[in-house]
Structure 1
């Protein structure tokens, strides 16, 4: 199977039903996407597949074949993506475990909806769980990244 990860062509010859998350973490050493629930319910594993925020824990390699995958490591090599910058400026992370998935979800939202309303943010981010409850800071960072907030 051929797949492009963070702009680099890759080849995979393992179990076609293996979740993309394990390929990224175990085979490629890209550990930004985290294992949370394994059922596509928490969002810790979110990556972009052909520009769409996707749960890598429930995406088999057969589905990822031939796609462009971007992980948190590939979103911006130097951490200057507007969402990453806003996250840092507003000190969004607390424990940090979910934050790569949160950032990837937020980046996908802003790519599709550059000036999101609170309802847009709530709808997009409702699939990502933060056990620390940083939701107000997440919303503020998304607004800042969109040029709407302080």
Structure 2
């Protein structure tokens, strides 16, 4: 099998996996990183959202070969030691999570949006986030993103 080098949450790792193995399974099965979740497997629900080279990606549809040489950030890589990332803090302050399954992907999508728009995030920008939350906490998600954008 081919070997791929990826920087995940600041750590350089090498994985020996099939070229077409989804990055989600590389992280969950090979690296034991469980923040990104499997939901649909086709990039629609976005429970697996992470950042790859600072861009939002759905890791269930990114192949291991395409991740070679990239830098991937998962929910586990956001906090600065014991200090949560501003988006994580906003999620707690706004009491967003219910079941929590979609929250890693939701948070990573919010981080990508704020990285792109800064404190200029609009309701239309937030509406453009297509992550699915079956609990329906969209109002609290919106409030948390706005709070984090101002942080």
TM range (shorter): over 0.9
Q: Comparing 55-64 with 76-85, which one deviates more in the overlay?
A: 76-85
- Shift >6 Å, 4+ stretches: none
SS at match of 2:51: strand
- State yes or no: 1:20 paired with 2:23: yes
Segments of 5+ residues of structure 1 without an aligned counterpart are none
Alignment partner of 1:66 is 2:69: yes
Q: CA RMSD, aligned part only?
A: 1.1
- Judged with a 3 Å threshold, the aligned counterparts in structure 2 of structure 1 residues 60 and 79 are, in CA distance, closer, same or farther, namely farther
Matched, 1:110 2:110: no
Q: Deviations over 1:11-67 (max 9, x none)?
A: 112101100000101111110000000000001000100001100001000110100
Report the CA distance between 1:79 and its aligned residue.
Answer: 5.2
Distance in 2, matches of 1:108 and 1:22, equals 22
Query: Map of 1:30-45 to 2, 5 A cutoff?
Result: 30-45=33-48
Paired residue total: 146
Report the Cα distance in structure 2 between the residues aligned to 1:99 and 1:80, rounded to whole angstroms.
Answer: 14
Shift of 1:80: 1.2
Give the structure 2 partner of residue 119 of structure 1.
124
**CA 1:33–1:79: 2 relative to 1, 3 Å:** farther
Contact 2:102 2:132 in 1 (8 A): yes
